Amino acid sequence: MILFYDTNLARVFPVKINGYLWKVIVCMKRFYKTEAEFEDFYLKLKLTMCPHCNVRGCLILHGYLYGYCENDMSIIKRGHRIYCSNRNRKNGCGRTFSVLAAVFIKNFMITANTLWCFLEKISEERTLVSALRESGSCIGQSSIYRIFRRFSDHQVRIRSYLSRIKDPPGLKHITSAVVQTILHLKSVFNKSCCPVAQFQHYFQASFL
Ligand SMILES: [Zn+2]
């Protein structure tokens, strides 16, 4: 059974709903792991539907997406921008969207790897500040409170994604919902060195 389908850039993953196995196909790529993977996305760009106006044939590359490096103020490339062209009689909407490397977190300087190290320390009952410092990040304390609050707010969505492929591990003795979510993430992507980046790449959805 198929829930969603788009012929271009589709990515299939199994989902179990009411005991039946469904195939869910993600229509639009939002995260990539390697430049080779992005190149494959780029080659199919003209066949791809714009996520804003659903028009095909108008998407073009619109440069790189830059951002600040996590531990200093240097500028690094974080992904690519795509433009839905309305120039030269094209029927596009003129809006842009980004396709991000999965190792970065959208709208945050912290990388997926540092965020995972931080969350892992939280699951080991460290305080927020010590978990942050042990993760090797130099970002400010106020930022980590903001990131942690954002993670707490997004737990339901994250667990909803994770439950599509695996039930949470038996954690009755753990009362903290945050720790349960972290361990659920770890159990789903237990073969990955960075479950946060793997989450983004697998579901093509932002972690935060
Ligand atoms: Zn458009």
- Check residue 60 and give its pLDDT: 93
CB atoms within 10 A of CB 12: 10
- Check residue 119 and give its pLDDT: 93
Residue 50 alpha carbon to ligand 1 centre in Å: 5
Tokens at 43, concatenated: 């080659």
Residue 35 alpha carbon to ligand 1 centre in Å: 24
Residue 101 alpha carbon to ligand 1 centre in Å: 22
- Sites in the chain below the pLDDT cut of 70: 1-18, 21-27, 171-172, 174
Residue 38 alpha carbon to ligand 1 centre in Å: 20
Tokens at 97, concatenated: 């969207």
Residue 206 alpha carbon to ligand 1 centre in Å: 21
Cα(120)–Cα(195) distance, integer angstroms = 10
- Check residue 3 and give its pLDDT: 42
- Check residue 7 and give its pLDDT: 37
CB atoms within 10 A of CB 152: 12
Sequence ranges of the domains in the chain: 29-101, 112-203
Query: Residue 12 forms beta bridges with which residues?
Result: 25
- Measuring CA to CA, how many Å separate 187 from each of 16, 37, 151, 152, 165? 17, 26, 18, 19, 11
8-state DSSP, 86: -
Residue 5 alpha carbon to ligand 1 centre in Å: 19
- Check residue 170 and give its pLDDT: 78
- Going by C-alpha positions, the residue among 104, 78, 101, 113 that lies closest to residue 194 is 113
